[in-house]
Every structure is written in structure tokens, then in C-alpha cells.
Amino acid sequence: MYINTAYLNHSLVDFMDKSKPLIVGSCGTYHLYTLPKLPTHRPKGRLDFQLLYIVSGKAHFYFDKSETDTIVTAGHMVLYRPKEPQRYVYYGEEGTEVYWVHFTGKNVRQLLKSYGITDDMRVIPTGTSLVYAGLFKQMIFELQRCQDHYPEALTLLLRHLFIRIHRELTRDHTRRNEFLDTEMELAMQYFNEHYNQEINIEAYAADRGMSVSWFIRSFKQYTHTTPMQYLVARRVNNAQMLLETTNYSITTIASIVGYDNPLYFSRIFHRQKGVSPSEYRKQGLPGT
């Protein structure tokens, strides 16, 4: 069995604190593979909120004092509210791996609702993603290190987790899977780092083992724009920043963002922004 936990102020006592909007009290992970089972039973619940993420395997929850288990599989999260009875079991033969976080704060229920997590939601279909595990690991790390501003860092990480959950709840699930998410994130990262170089979309797709049509269609589903439109937007937006903050010539800026022909760059910029680069500079820089 693998276990890694961390607690605010190194205290194992749960608490309710309404002095701030959101406070992370503890966080951890269990990976059960050597012990036969790991049961948890809190008849009176806890004072804080608890969110559990099933990474792999499955977990058995007994809601509302029921003797019949609700089996929650990987790719789901379970939310317990304060003072809600808790009873759940992990079995070693099922290879259960779970992350959890306890949190409290001022009017947390309304905060959760703002992220699409309503009072009637117990089991939340979030899908599996390395991002979730990464956020939980960062929270554990912050609680263990206790560096400057770590309570604020914990709050930001938990809010990031809520944002990811909300996006998953509101997206078209028939179009999403972990492979697609990973590939599209890698593509965006590659385009962001090489936007000012010549990028052949067909060659990129082939190098990643994807057909061009599937890649373009999937990229558009993920970003709501085509790969080429995404590249052009990066170039024009970066050119806009240079026009606003530097005295570089239009030709130099065109070259910096990846256009050898300044006239072509000006046409592209005008198409995107409605004005030419020189006109934009006059509008954006008072006194020039």
C-alpha cells in the first residue's frame, strides 16, 4: 500500500473555518495493492468538505446509511458535505488508487455551485486526466513544504481543480478522451513554442501518428479553431504586443513573429484586427 498525506499546521483534527472564502485543510493519496481492504467509517461525518478522486480501480460507497454499495469507478469524484455520514471501502484486489482533499471556508456551497457542482451532486463524472493527479500532488507538496504563501497557493490549486471539473461537466463528452486531451495539449504547446517558424500541419500530424483530417477536426473540437487559425492568432497577437510596447519597425516585427514578407504580414494583421499594423500603432501608442 502506498500512502502520502499532508495536513495544515500538521493537525489531524478536522475543522470548520469561515474566516476566508476557501481553506485547504488536508490532502493525500492512497494506492491499495498489498492490503485486502481499507475501510473508512465516519458515522457523524466531518466538519469540512471532502472531495475524493478515483484514479484507478474502483471504490465502494455506502450513501445515506444504505447497506448496498454504490460502486464508483475510475474517472469519477465523490463529494461529501460537512456532517454527512461517510462510509466507503477500497479493496486491494481492485487496485484502487485515490486522491482526496479536505477543505472549508465561507459559503463553500455557493462557491461549488459557481463551478457547476450543485447540492444534489455526490458522484461527479470528471473523466481521467493527468492534470487532476498533478493538482492533487502539488497540493500535497505545498502542505508538506509550507513555504511562503502556501495557504494561498493551496487555494489557487483547488480552484484550478474546480475549474477543470466545471469544464468537464459542461463539455461534449462524446468528443473527449484522455488521448485526445493529451495530444491537443502537446500540439498547443508545440505551436506556442514554434509559432514564428514554418510549421507544416500535415508533417506534424504524420509525426504524431495521426491523419491530417483527424488532427484538424480534433484540434478544432478542443480549441474551437483550426491549427492554422491558431498559429495566425498567436502571430498576430504577439505582433500586437510588440506594436504596443516597442519601437521596432513593421518589417522587424513581421520577421519576429514569422513573416518574411511585411506586406503579407500587414494583410494578415488587417484581416485579424481590422486595421493595418501602422494604424494600430498610432491608435495604441498615445503621442506617436
Q: What is the pLDDT of residues 175-199, one digit of tens each?
A: 456 778 788 889 999 999 999 999 9
Average pLDDT over residues 74-88: 95
pLDDT grade for 284, boundaries at 50, 70 and 90: low
Are residues 148 and 16 part of one domain? yes
Strand order in the sheet with 76-80: 2-7, 23-31, 97-104, 49-56, 76-80, 123-125
Mean of pLDDT values over 161-171: 90
User: What CATH number does residue 279 fall under?
Assistant: 1.10.10.60
For 274, the enclosing helix (H) or strand (E) is none
Q: Is a pLDDT exceeding 80 seen at residue 13?
A: yes
Q: How far apart are CA 8 and CA 144, in angstroms?
A: 9
C-alpha–C-alpha distance, residues 252 and 246, integer Å: 11
Same domain membership, residue 145 and residue 10: yes
252 and 241 in a common domain: yes
Confidence of residue 288 (pLDDT cuts 50, 70, 90): very low
Q: 129 and 234 share a domain? A: no
Q: Provide the domain count of the chain.
A: 2
pLDDT tens-digit series, residues 208-239: 888 899 999 999 988 889 999 999 999 999 99
* Domain termination residue (choose one: 170, 198, 229): 170
CATH number for the domain spanning 158: value is 2.60.120.280
Taking CA atoms, 27 is separated from 93, 99, 136, 143, 147, in Å, by 24, 8, 7, 8, 16
Whether residue 228 sits in one domain with residue 139: no
With residue 128 as reference, give the H or E element that holds it.
none
Instruction: Over range 132-148, report the average pLDDT.
Output: 93
Confidence at residue 213, expressed as pLDDT on a 0 to 100 scale: 92
**Quick check: pTM over 0.75?**
no
Identify the domain boundary among 141, 170, 199.
Answer: 170
Question: In this structure, are 70 and 200 located in the same domain?
Answer: no
Q: 229 and 155 in one domain?
A: no
Range of 80-89, 162-171, 278-287 with top mean pLDDT: 80-89
Tell which of 113, 142, 170 closes a domain. Answer: 170
Range of the domain at 55: 2-170
Task: Tell me the average pLDDT of the chain.
Answer: 90
pLDDT > 50? residue 174: no
